[in-house]
Amino acid sequence: MVEEVRIQGLGVIDEAVLELSPGFNVVTGETGAGKTMVVTSLGLLFGGRADPQRVRPGAGRATVEGRIVVDPAGRVASRVAEAGAELDEDTLIITRSVSAEGRSRAHLGGRSVPVGLLIALADDLVAVHGQSDQQRLLQPGRQRAALDRYAGRELAAPLRAYTAAYQRHRKVTAQLEELTAQARERAAEAEMLRFGLEEIEKVDPKAGEDAELAAEAERLGNADALRTAATTAHQALLGDPDAAALTPADVMTLLGTARNALEGVRDHDPALGQLADRLAEAGYLISDAATELAAYAESVEADPIRLAAVQERRAELNALTRKYGPTLEDVLAWAQRSAARLAELEGDDERIERLRSEQAELEQRLGELAAELTAVRSRAAERFSAAVTEELTALAMPHARVVVNVTATEEFGPHGADEVEILLAPHPGAPPLPLHKGASGGELSRVMLAIEVVFAGADPVPTFVFDEVDAGVGGKAAVEIGRRLARLARTSQVIVVTHLPQVAAFADQHLLVAKSDDGSVTRSGVTVLDHEGRVRELSRMLAGLEDSELGRAHAEELLELAARERQAT
C-alpha cells in the first residue's frame, strides 16, 4: 500500500505530507483547496505526464516522494532489484520531480531510473481512475487479463494447457524457420564434405603409410649405393674366396690369426685364454653381420617401376595433407568428423519433416484449446456483464448496460486467440461503445468503480485511486457509491477525492486539505480528522456550515449509517 506521500511545489501545495492508511482513505476540502493535487501527485509518482504548468509559481520545481510498502518476495521487489535499486526494509521509496522548464527526473530506491520503469511498476501497484487520467482498464490487454482473473479456476486448466502448447509451437516454428532459412548453406556445406570424403575414400590412406612410403622411396632411389655399401662391408668382414690372393686379409681372417696365436699359449696364462674366448665371440658376431650383409645385398634391387608407383602414391597422400591437415593422421581425423557432420546435415531433411508434422499437430491442438478458452471467457463475460450492469443501477446509472465482447481471431497469441473489449450502452437503444466513447467523465468513473468492485479479489492491484467518482451523483446513489468503495477497501487500499459527505462517511481515514491565509497548502494544511473533526467536515459538506446543528446531526447520522453498513458487510 501507499504509506506516505510528500508533496512540494505542486499547484497550490507549497509543502504537504499525506499519511495514508490501509482500507478506505477519503480526501475532502473546499473547492480549490488542492484536493486534485493529491491525485496528480500519485499520477506523477507512477510515471504520469510531467506538466510544468503544475509547478507552483516561484517554486522552480515540483517534487513528490512516496513510501510504498511492498512484498519483499513479490514481483515489484524483483523488478526493483533488477534496476539496481534497494528497498528500505519492506518499503520502496519513489521520487519524481518536475522543473518549471519541463525537465523530469525519477528516482527509485535511491537510484536514478527512467520514467518508463515507474510506469511499468504502476501496473502492479496502483490503478488511478480520474476524469483526466489514462484508465488502466481501457487497455484491451488489461481487459482480457482482468476477465481471465474473473473467470478463475474454470479458465486456469485450459489456459495452462494452451500456454504449454503455444510455447512448444513457437519453439518448433523457430526451429523450422532456422532450418529452412539455412537450407542453401547446409546444402553447400554437405556438398563440400561429400566431395572431401569421396576424395579421401578414393585414395584410401592408412595410418603411418606416409612414413613407410618415404622410407621405401629412399631405399629404391639409392638401391645401387646401398648394394655396393653392403657388398663392400661384407667383403671387409668375411672376404671374397675368389679374390683372396689379390686382396688384403679380411676381418675374419685377421681375427682367426689373432685367436690361433692366443690359443697356442692359453695354457701358460689364463688371461690370454680369456682374450682368446672373447675373440672367438667377436668372430661369431662378425660372421652373423657378414651373413646379413650378403642377404641384404642380394635383396636390394633397382626397381624403377616400383619407385614410380611409390612416388605416385606419396603424391596422392601429399595432396590430401595439403587440403585436410598437415599429417595423414589429421586427414583421417577430418574424415571422421566430416562423416558425422554429413550424417547430421543429411538428417535435417527428415528433421524438417518431423517438425512440420509436429507443427501441424500443435496448430490443431491450439485451435481446440483456443476454442475452449473462448467458450470459458464468453461464459465469464456474460456473468461479468450482468454483475457490472447491476452495480451501475445502484450507482445512478439505471439504464446503462455493460457488454463484454469476446471475439475469436485467426491468430494464436500467448493467451489464446481472443480479443476482449468492454463496451457500454449508456441508455436503452444506444449501441454499445468502447468505455472511453460511451461514457462521460463522471459516468466513466462510476463505470470503473462498478468494474473494480466486481473484479475485487480477482485483480491483484493493491491500491485504487478515484478522483471525483461521485461527479453528478447525489442522494441514495451517493450512499451506494460509498458502500461499494468500502466493499472494495476490504481487499485493497482505496484513496478517494470526493465532494459528497455520503461517500466520505464510509472512509476508514478522513484527510482534510485546507489552504492557509496566503492561499497555499502548507504542511499543516493536510490533517487526519478525528471523529469530531469528521463531524464538522461532513456538516460543512452537507450544509455549507461547520457548526450547523442540523448539519452536525445529519453528519452523525451518516457516520452511524456507514459504521453499521461496514459491520454488516
- At 168 the pLDDT is 93
Least Cα distance to 136 among 442, 45, 64, 145 occurs for 145
- Dist CA 395 CA 389 (whole Å): 10
Residue 166 pLDDT: 93
pLDDT of res. 161? 93
Say if residue 289 is exposed, middle or buried (CB neighbours under 10 Å; 0-12, 13-18, 19+): middle
Q: Output the pTM of the full model.
A: 0.59
More confident residue, 230 or 311: 311
- The grid cell for 457 is 479479489
Query: Tens digit of pLDDT for each residue in 438-484?
Result: 676 667 777 877 887 787 656 567 888 887 666 666 677 788 888 88
β-pair partners for 61? 99
C-alpha span between 169 and 366 (Å, rounded): 9
Residues paired with residue 15 on neighbouring β-strands, in sequence order? 8
**Beta partners for 489?**
none
Say which range, 359-368, 414-423, 516-525, has the weakest mean pLDDT. 516-525
What are the phi and psi torsion angles at 38 (to 5°)? Answer: -65, -45
Residue 69's SS3 state is: strand
Residues 547, 549, 551: CA angle, nearest 5 degrees? 80
- Phi then psi dihedrals of residue 424, to 5 deg: -130, 130
Q: Percentage of residues in the chain with pLDDT exceeding 70? A: 89
Distance CA 470, CA 51 (A): 26
Cell numbers that stand for 84 in this block: 539496481
What sections of 464-545 are H helices per DSSP? 475-488, 501-504, 531-543
CA-CA distance, 80 to 172, in Å (whole number)? 34
Residue with the bigger pLDDT between 400 and 244: it is: 400
Q: What is the mean pLDDT of the chain?
A: 82
The CA distance from 395 to 544, in Å, is 24
- In this structure, of 211-215, 246-250, 254-258, 268-272, the range with the lowest mean pLDDT score is 246-250
Q: What is the pLDDT of residue 139?
A: 74
Task: Please spell the DSSP secondary structure of 119-130, one letter per residue.
Answer: HHHHHHHEEEE-
Confirm if 390 and 399 have CB atoms less than 8 A apart.
no
pLDDT at position 372 is 94
Residue 133 has pLDDT above 50, yes or no: no
Mean of pLDDT values over 365-382: 93
- Burial bucket for residue 35 (CB in 10 Å: 0-12, 13-18, 19+): buried
Q: Give the model's pLDDT for residue 78.
A: 86
Q: Can you tell me the distance from the alpha carbon of 477 to that of 512, in angstroms, rounded to the nearest whole number?
A: 23
Report the C-alpha gap between 25 and 38 in whole angstroms.
Answer: 12
- Side-chain-side CA neighbours of 84 within 13 Å: the count stands at 5
